[in-house]
Copies of this chain bind each other. A is one copy, B any other.
Amino acid sequence: MTDSATTESSVPAGSAASGRRARGGGGAARRAERTSVSYESARFIERNVPNLDVLNEEALKIIERNAETVLEEIGVNFVENPAALELWREAGADVRGERVHIPRGLARQLCATAPSSFVQHARNPERNVEIGGRNLVLAPVYGPPFVRDEAGGRRYATIEDFRNFVRLGYMSKWLHHSGGTVCEPTDIAVNKRHLDMLHAHMTLSDKPFMGSVTEPSRAQDSVDMAGILFGKDFVQANTVMTSLININSPLTFDGVMMGALEVYARNNQASIVSPFIVGGAMAPTTVAGTLTQVLAEILAGVAYSQLVRQGAPVIAGAFVTSIDMNSGAPTFGTPEASLVTYGMGQLVRRLGLPYRSAGAFCGSKLPDAQAAYETANSLNMGLLSGVNFMLHACGWLEGGLVASFEKFVMDADQLGMLHQLARGVDMTENGQAMDAIREVGPGGHYLGCAHTQANFKSAFWRTELLDYKPFETWDEEGARDTRQLASARVRKLLDSYREPILDPAVRQALDAYVAEKKAGMPDAFG
């Protein structure tokens, strides 16, 4: 009984462990296992460095008080969602039309039932991630309709591009999560592409992934397909998807997005409740004003998830950029966005919720120096602001319009840097290295000393991409810039890709689900 319960609830049906146990298709599974390649994948980051707190206690209290004022006096709109209005009314809110006025303190009280941390399971249990606490989980870019690479330039994304990004994510040591809509497969009908995207995440990678949010029925498809992969009972007992629910800032929750949230919450799956804000357009131009509005939106959205199902796992998100007041374009890696991200981290931690923010953000059209400055500003801020789930951690280009293959591997390499920085300072005797200092002495050299010999392999973060060669060597090899080095790395990785093993019966069931669903629908575009 205990054994069986353990098998049901802690080892997903589609995992290698369960696959080996399966009676049917054992030969194919063994063949798959023999030809599979294991890619090294780092465990999610557990920080041993502090967060940067830009707000003092007084500032935090002012913003928290102002956010409650916003909820009570101004209120939030729940659009085209009578059931949500009813839930709010029952909870004690003052509902007028679609406007919900939430009495001071009610939203915060409702948020208290959301877990401060939760495990998102992967079909390979070694890839499970724990989202919350001092942890940081990294996931790739989400949403671009275009892709770009050196060979093909900028073009509409296809399902093959999508699959290649999933493959790259699977092979990236520093990426913990396969993400969701890593690009929009525009060659597949809008009403069908979620099926192909989920199928790709489930079969081409064994890392955790996100579900569809564009229609409640697509969220249900996501839950159903997860049921095939993990087993239905496992899905009801464990969180296997984290999905992105955007708030329409300012202060508006639309019926479609909330419908998807409702599906996920009822099925014990996680949602990121996240405003998407271009400061100056969807929020005030000031940092404190933006923090106030974002906090109000998070309070209302997370509280609503708990009205749908008490204890449903949820992440408080903040996607914030500022606007270029000349062109109206969103800008990235800017200091105002950093201050909001730092401040929001403090406010979310006081709510006791996991925090989603930051990413490899940039406005540049190319994976050039602008892209890298903006991205590095944002990645550093993400680590130091206490983010627990970082979507868009690699591959983001051109304000999110483009998923870049080169930038994907460039950013993914930088993510290794975050892992090492998060380790903090080793204060063991070996870390203190007094023996080395004694051995070498004034005027000596450390390269040959015993301490260096014992430590050099693990002492420093190593890039798998960047160039440190002597000038002459680099010049002879073609004087390549980072884009060219990245382009070669993309090709090399994709050429060497091998699928992770999957129980053939599960694979067939997934194929059949997608085929059957597609057969029942006419194509819809746009």
Q: List A residues at the B interface (Cβ < 8 Å).
A: 49-50, 52-55, 58-59, 62-63, 66, 69-70, 73-77, 99, 154, 248, 250-252, 279-293, 322-329, 331, 333-336, 338-339, 343, 363-377, 380-381, 384, 398, 401, 407, 410, 414, 417-418, 420-421, 423-427, 430-434, 436-438, 440-447, 451-452, 455-457, 459-462, 466-471, 474-475, 479, 481-483, 486
- Complex Cα distance, B373 from A367, in Å, reads 11
**Chain B nearest Cβ from A396, distance in angstroms:** 13
The 8 A-B pairs of least Cβ separation, nearest first, read A289-B433, A376-B376, A372-B372, A284-B433, A285-B459, A335-B421, A251-B442, A335-B420
- Known: A425-B339, A446-B285. Is A334-B483 also a contact (CB below 8 A)? no
Bound complex: CA A380 to CA B377 (Å): 7
Q: Contact at A250–B481, with CB atoms within 8 Å?
A: no
Contacts of A457 in B (CB 8 A): 325
CB of B482 within 8 A of CB of A446, answer no
Contact of B62 with A459 in the complex, beta carbons under 8 Å: no
- In the assembled complex, the Cα of A75 lies from the Cα of B438 at a distance in Å of 10
Q: Is the CB of A77 within 8 A of B329?
A: no
Are A289 and B468 in contact (CB-based, < 8 A)? Answer: no
Nearest B-chain residue to A78, judged by Cβ: B442
CA A98 to CA B377, docked complex, whole Å: 46
Structural contact, B284 and A436, CB atoms closer than 8 A: yes
Contact of A446 among B248, B280, B380 (CB under 8 A): B280
Query: A380: which of B154, B376, B414, B438 is its contact (CB, 8 Å)?
Result: B376
Task: Return the contact of A471 from the options B280, B291, B380, B401 (Cβ within 8 A).
Answer: B401
Copies of this chain present in the complex amount to: 2
Closest to A146 in B: B471
Q: Which residue of B lies closest to A377 (CB)?
A: B376
Q: With A252-B443, A284-B437, A421-B339 known to touch, is A431 a contact of B289 (CB < 8 Å)?
A: yes
CB atoms of B446 and A283 under 8 A apart? yes
Residue of B nearest to A459 (CB): B285
Contact of A437 among B55, B74, B333, B470 (CB under 8 A): B74
In Å, the complex CA distance between A427 and B423 comes to 33
Shortest beta-carbon distance, A435 to chain B, in Å? Answer: 9
| A468 adjacent to B363 (CB under 8 Å) | yes
Whole-angstrom distance between the alpha carbons of A445 and B280 in the complex? 9
Contact of A483 among B282, B343, B368 (CB under 8 A): B368
CB of A377 to closest CB in B, whole Å: 5
Are A331 and B425 closer than 8 Å at their CB atoms? no
Contacts of A286 in B (CB 8 A): 426, 430-433, 451, 455, 459
CA distance A498 to B368 in the complex (A): 32
A58 to B427, CA, bound (A): 10
User: Is the Cβ of B363 less than 8 Å from the Cβ of A466?
Assistant: yes
Contacts of A475 in B (CB 8 A): 365
Q: Which residues of B contact A420 (CB under 8 A)?
A: 334-336
CB distance from A349 to the nearest CB of B (A): 16
The answer to whether B466 touches A364, judged by C-beta atoms less than 8 angstroms apart, is yes
- A474: chain B residues at CB < 8 Å are 365
A455 contacts B335, C-beta separation under 8 Å = no
Q: Knowing A252-B442, A377-B417, A442-B251 touch, does A365 contact B471 (C-beta < 8 A)?
A: yes
Chain B residues in 8 Å Cβ range of A279: 459-460
Q: Which of B58, B322, B369, B446 contacts A367 (CB 8 A)?
A: B369
| Chain B min CB distance to A70 (Å) | 6
13 cross-chain CB contacts under 8 A = A74-B442, A250-B441, A280-B446, A283-B446, A285-B456, A286-B431, A287-B431, A322-B460, A324-B468, A368-B368, A369-B481, A376-B376, A380-B381
A433 contacts which chain B residues (CB < 8 A)?
284-286, 288-290, 292
A81 CA to B69 CA in the complex, in Å? 70
The chain B residue sitting closest to A67, CB to CB, is B437
What separation, in Å, do the CA atoms of A95 and B421 have in the docked complex? Answer: 40
Closest to A322 in B: B460
